[in-house]
Amino acid sequence: MAIRLHGSARTTPRIRAELQLATGSHRFLAKLYGINPKTVAKWRARTSVLDEPMGPRDRASQHLSQE
């Protein structure tokens, strides 16, 4: 089964796992992988390497209300 990344993903699950195991600074790793230090911090704080859902958590109602 192929892993599908969202369109703006700059990292792969392999890179994310490497970030989680790395011991360097956020700035060093960001420069090494060509990503933002905030992205490094985000992936180091997570326990999974999978994308989280994007968009609203609650779906808008699909039913029209009666007036």
Contacts of 13 (CB under 8 A, 6+ apart): 3, 49, 50
- pTM score, two decimals? 0.66
For residue 29, what pLDDT is reported?
95
Distances 10 to 3, 29, 61 between C-alpha atoms, Å: 14, 14, 33
Other beta carbons less than 10 A from residue 18's beta carbon: 16
Q: Are 42 and 66 in contact (CB under 8 A)?
A: no
Q: What is the pLDDT of residues 15-38, one digit of tens each?
A: 999 999 999 999 999 999 999 999
